[in-house]
Amino acid sequence: MTQNQVEKIEPWRERWLIGRTGWDQGRPHHELERLLQQATREGRLPAGARIFSAGCGRAHNEAWLAGQGYQVDAMDAVPEAIEGARALYATQSGLNLAVADVFAANAPAAAYDAVFDRAMLCAIQPEHRATYIQRITSRLKPGGLVMAILFRRTRTPEGPPFAVDEAEAQRLFADQFDLCHASSCPPPPNPQNVLEEWLCIWRKRSL
């Protein structure tokens, strides 16, 4: 496993090895279907779109999206996470799983119609957010969407995870994206450290 100069991977690997993966609810997120409906209606996400997801963990969300007919490339930097995803979803058509680091430089440019994010932007160290946004933005086609489930409030403000509220999301996205949709989520069934979540969909501006 090569280490990037941004988010350290080893602490994430340790969490996977000892099973400290409280974010993993063993199934797709309870608001994923509504997020997709909003992306289709308000974001005009095309049928069969290519979707990219970094930090997919065991890829419950990504497998569900693939099951809806999308072409999903999902990656996680930790091999054990992807092994877990393959154990569950190896036969899911439309789902491509890879061990890879989103901060690595060799990303395919402007290849995707959408990026999906659940518990990645809110999981990484806050000082790495701008670099993460830059990495996912470069993968998006002009007009492409970021479809995100963000943590609005967490139990421990010092993190992890680290809340991203509307003001912080505006600060991160507004330069290059327009907001298509924002709404509150019902509370997560298994809250762990997350007290409140929200959905948002951003469209990358065409230059």
In the complex, which residues of this chain contact ligand SAM (CB under 6 A)? 7, 9, 12, 23-24, 54-57, 75-78, 81, 101-103, 118-120, 123
The residue nearest ligand SAM at its CB is: 55
Strand bridging mode 50-54 / 71-76: parallel
The SS3 of residue 85 is helix
Cβ nearer to ligand SAM, comparing 9 with 182: 9
Q: Residues 6-35, buried b or exposed e (16+ Cβ, 10 A)?
A: bbebeebbebbeeeebebbbeebbbbbebb
- Secondary element (H or E) of residue 167: helix 166-173
52 neighbors 73 (Cβ within 8 angstroms): yes
Residue type, 148: A
Q: Which is nearer to ligand SAM, 42 or 80 (CB)?
A: 80
Give whichever of 55 and 94 is closer to ligand SAM, judged by the CB atom.
Answer: 55
Minimum distance from residue 83 beta carbon to ligand SAM (Å): 12
The nearest distance, CB 23 to ligand SAM, in angstroms, is 4
Q: Cβ closer to ligand SAM: 78 or 147?
A: 78
CB of 173 to ligand SAM, least distance (A): 19
